[in-house]
Amino acid sequence: MIRTGKQNRHEKITVTLLSGRPVSPAEIAEVFKGTDQESVLYRLSTNIYNIRLDGGVIKVHKSGRSVTAYQLMNPQDFDTTGRYNRAVYQNTKPIVVQTPVVEVETVETEVLAA
């Protein structure tokens, strides 16, 4: 079911990250400047956490302990309003990988021959 209604704060931040390039916290603050959501940087890490809960993969670029930029690694999984598009993954089946079984006798003879 696709959710409609008011856009959440973390979805607005997701829209700024949709380019897939690293976005600095200053650029995010510039988007919200002059709005009622201007204090978004106070809880920016919480909003990034909510994007991750939605299904976003966020890479955090740091210089020492301070964050220099955030990068959304899977922008193709979000629509233009910043909402995660779960419909892409509804009908997929898990991939089963079968590893080849090597017989013990074969391994021993190769080791002795070397």
Domain assignments of the chain as residue spans, ordered by start: 1-87
CATH fold of 1-87 reads: Arc Repressor Mutant, subunit A (1.10.10)
Model pLDDT, residue 33: 85
Model pLDDT, residue 113: 56
pTM above 0.75, yes or no: no
Residues 6 or more apart whose Cβ sits within 8 Å of residue 15: 80, 81, 82
Model pLDDT, residue 57: 92
Model pLDDT, residue 6: 78
From residue 10, alpha-carbon distances to 15, 36, 52, 53, 107 in Å are 9, 14, 10, 11, 54
Q: Average pLDDT by consecutive 10-residue portion of the chain (114 residues)? A: 71 90 92 79 87 91 94 90 71 68 61 55
